[in-house]
Structure 1
């Protein structure tokens, strides 16, 4: 593979730190005394800190691409593709504590938490008449949402993790080394942060500009994350899932399913009515490098082997459902100038490419990941209704999603069975949300991850042998990075 040239959007935070002139430079205070305490003292500086907290979505590999690896590639939707041994290990469920992608994800997510903590700490202390109390409350609500979202990604992938709820003010190991909180404790903190965000006047909209409303934390985003957290935690609360899903569906923000599924991913309809929150890649020096990693030579303009190859099992799932609309929006078949061990062990074989991002743009694409969109919430509502023993109502919600892609309603015999509807909803989520970093969460939430992975019938064409994933309970969570265990002896590793 060619060297990966990545232009990551890094936002400069220009802080006006005026100092009094002094004739004798020896009387100047040490540079080290310019600390958080005197660097964030005005409203504009606080706004800049908040902007820096949002920037994690653009600069963190987890939110750009690695979440797809640890969701779709780790599950049954995609193969690793490419040539990276650490991604092959993710595909094979052989992730070790020394895998650098595990450490990169962990550290970049915690970096986002540190930025959110800074905003939450400084906002109450700023005495600037230009900062209204309403805006101060909104800023704190936005930061609380961001912290909750980062912890959500940590806890669902690693289980219990250390709760860092304030900025680090000391290098003392007794201060910075924290043990793992339990998964339930982390979820409790997520829910507390989201409750605070909703109580602190997060708006339904910030104005009339969609590129602002879809970029920032709103009540719709907070209620979506609340529904997902209540569903994903070790003991789900389905009544709460339903409550918060309904708050999104009935939001004054007016979220609506797009009439054309393909418009969600054609690069021409971002910040649309279905989008609740999305990463705002603009292209050029604020572009997304991930599409170049996936797209075929006819689009990417290069010939090296691409990553995240759709699996036979995913393609079969589309075909068995007769789901041509979502398949064509999600997958593109093309002859490849390399041999693929699953689709054709010869150069020139036709293979599928991940296609929900459609514009490579030389490592600087404007293609975006949705953080949340309405179809996910509707299917989550269906799941909650079904778990509350209301399968007929669940089928009604699923049918809303199916009608958009010209599929028939769920048969009545299926809609009357809670067990049958579980399978329908899980499959519907797969077809609707492939390549959107949802699949591994879904399989674990349904308690079928091991069964699904161990029942896959995948053949390595290089040997003709079946692939044995040998999935065990120890594969359900990512390992704690070895670098973190070495630094912090209080961290207990996952099995």
Structure 2
């Protein structure tokens, strides 16, 4: 299995990788790319934009974002047999972990493609590009994409090199840039999102498969809400403003009445979805479900990745949340030994289940990039932080009522903070949100060090040795070798 899996990922990466810098990838930092292509027509602009969206179908957005949010947190164990994923679970990541460089490079390649669009499209003279304001829409979409990728980078690594135009040289002075500060990166993200919100439509028409596939004003406002909540100098008045802009959008976002419809594979591009990756099957397919789903669904018998933790299962059970638990976790006998659930082969083991169909590495199951429940719970958080407790209660109870839960019993601000954090966990497990939530609530260290996860092979509790430094990932050593000006995050050596 290992050989086939690695070969598959290699072929996938090759198929979707950005090729504009392939001639000198071994010479310059992956965060840089040169572009010599000619862009003359409206069709050229659209093609470049499509290429920019393709980053959402690369490995980071398929499942590594789950590894570095859910597996690294209290939501999931690594599962599988990959030492690099075990390191994420164990909080023992090092700069030489290959997944770090893969993710860094894919995110920067996405930024490079957005930069091409933003640099080239304004100069195209084809009049077709200005019909219906399409030029401004394209620039808005590219701005959103650049901001979204930078948001991933800054939350994973902190300050990173800030590249906002295509690179025209491979000279060290131009490509070996130092890291910008966290504040500078967030300022660029906000500027890009504000531009996007001002230039994108609420919808592109009546076709949901278009409106949920492209960045819209609603997507930009949703990200502005998340960014203002996550940045170091957070502003909950801004968070509330942008959450309300999404909730009242003319796009008509609404919670689905049935939570299970979000993940059953039959209701994508729904009213709750703000933006989702449009996997339609080979060659535009999602290989992730094959890695996670049990043998009865995947059709193979090797050990699967991203196993729900006892702590996550207990969180659902404590809340009596059967609806979201059953939509998120599937228990099944596993033909392997699991160190946390069953050391005996064929024991009962939980599987990550928000994807439901593997289809031989070519699933059409999707990840939501943004959906309304996330924004409603973020609004509840903002209201609570602004000391508007009862209004916060209304929002969290709106989400709880959807899955048949009683109103939250929180009676003060501190209790409500914990209630909202827990609600987000139950609602958004396996959606790449948990680690940012724990960091935002300043609870990552306390939560990880209080876990009581027992390794059944030894009978001893797993020790995470979490500290503040581990909230950020180490800068990939491969990239530091290319760019000596990067430095390293605290706690990972020089």
Question: What SS class does the counterpart of residue 362 from structure 1 fall into?
Answer: coil
**Which residue is 2:52 aligned to?**
53
Asked whether the 8 Å contact 2:289–2:363 carries over to 1, the reply is yes
RMSD: 1.6
Separation in structure 1 between the aligned mates of residue 81 and residue 368 of structure 2, nearest angstrom: 27
Partner of 1:380: 378
Matching residue of 1:106: 104
Instruction: Tell me, yes or no, if structure 1 residue 265 matches structure 2 residue 260.
Output: no
Task: Report the equivalent of 2:475.
Answer: 480
Aligned twin of 1:19: none
Choose which of 220, 223, 226 in structure 2 pairs with 1:225.
223
Give the structure-1-normalised TM-score: 0.93
Q: 1:390 aligns with which of 382, 388, 391?
A: 388
Distance 1:272 1:459 in 2: 40
Task: Indicate if the aligned counterparts of 1:8 and 1:285 stay in contact, CA closer than 8 A.
Answer: no
Residues 258-291 of structure 1, C-alpha deviation per residue, up to 9 Å, x if partnerless? 0000000000000000000000000122110000
In structure 2, C-alpha distance between the alignment counterparts of 1:282 and 1:196, rounded to whole Å:
30
* Stretch of structure 1 that moved more, 4-13 or 438-447: 4-13
Task: Write the distance in 1 (CA, Å) between the matches of 2:291 and 2:124.
Answer: 44
| Equivalent position of 1:175 in the other structure | 174
Q: Distance in 2 between matches of 1:209 and 1:322?
A: 38
The CA deviation at 1:42 is 1.1
Asked if residue 163 in structure 1 is aligned to residue 162 in structure 2, the reply is yes
Q: Which residue of 2 aligns with 1:140?
A: 139
Question: Which of 272, 275, 284 is equivalent to 1:274?
Answer: 272
Secondary structure of 1:165 counterpart:
coil
Asked if 1:461 corresponds to 2:456, the answer is yes
Distance in 1, Cα, partners of 2:45 & 2:35:
11
Residue aligned with 1:494, SS: coil
Q: Kindly state the Cα deviation for residue 37 of structure 1 after the two structures are TM-superposed.
A: 5.4
Q: Give the match for residue 23 of structure 2.
A: none
CA offsets 1:166-197 (integer angstroms, 9 cap, x no match): 10100100001111111111000000001111
Separation in 1, partners of 2:293, 2:62: 15
Give the C-alpha shift of residue 8 in structure 1.
3.9
Following TM superposition, the consecutive aligned residue runs of length 4 or more in structure 1 with deviations greater than 6 angstroms are none
Aligned position for 2:420: 425
Q: Which residue of 1 aligns with 2:486?
A: 491
Aligned residue for 2:129, secondary structure, equals coil
Q: Which consecutive residues of structure 2, in runs of 5 or more, have no partner in the other structure? A: 19-33
Q: Which residues of 2 match residues 340-359 of structure 1 at below 5 A?
A: 340-359=338-357
Partners of 1:197 and 1:320 lie apart in 2 by 41
**How many residues of Structure 1 are paired with residues of Structure 2 in the alignment?**
471
Distance 1:331 1:243 in 2: 34
Counterpart position of 1:404: 402
* Cα distance in 2, alignment partners of residues 395 and 434 from structure 1: 21
Contact 2:255/2:372, CA 8 A, preserved across alignment: yes
2:205 aligned with 1:210: no
The aligned residue for residue 24 of structure 1 is none
Task: Indicate the residue corresponding to 1:442 in structure 2.
Answer: 437
The answer (yes or no) to whether the contact 1:8–1:287 under 8 Å persists in 2 is no
Q: Deviations over 1:58-85 (max 9, x none)?
A: 1x21111100000000000000000000
Once the two structures are superposed, residues 17-57 of structure 1 have per-residue CA deviations (whole angstroms, 9 ceiling, x without a partner) of: xxxxxxxxxxxxxxxxxx95552111101110000000110
**Cα distance in 1 between the residues matched to 2:235 and 2:12:** 39
Partner residue in 2 for 1:92: 90
1:107-165 per-position Cα deviation (integer Å, ceiling 9, x unaligned): 10000000000000001111112211611111101100000000000001100100001
Distance 2:36 2:417 in 1: 52
- Contact 1:11–1:52 (CA under 8 A) maintained in structure 2: no
In structure 1, stretches of 5+ residues that fail to align are: 14-34
CA distance, structure 2, for counterparts of residue 147 and residue 191 of structure 1: 11
How far apart in 1 are the matches of 2:439 and 2:35?
A: 41
What residue is the counterpart of 2:29 in the other structure? none
Distance 2:36 2:486 in 1: 30
1:360 pairs with 342, 358, 361, which one?
358
> 2:310 & 2:102 partners in 1: Cα distance?
30
Per-residue CA shift, 1:193-246, capped at 9, x if unaligned? 01111222x000001111100000000000000000000001211000000000
Select the residue among 285, 308, 314 that pairs with 1:316.
314
- Aligned mates of 2:191, 2:212 — CA distance in 1: 23
CA distance in 2: counterparts of 1:223 and 1:197, whole angstroms: 9
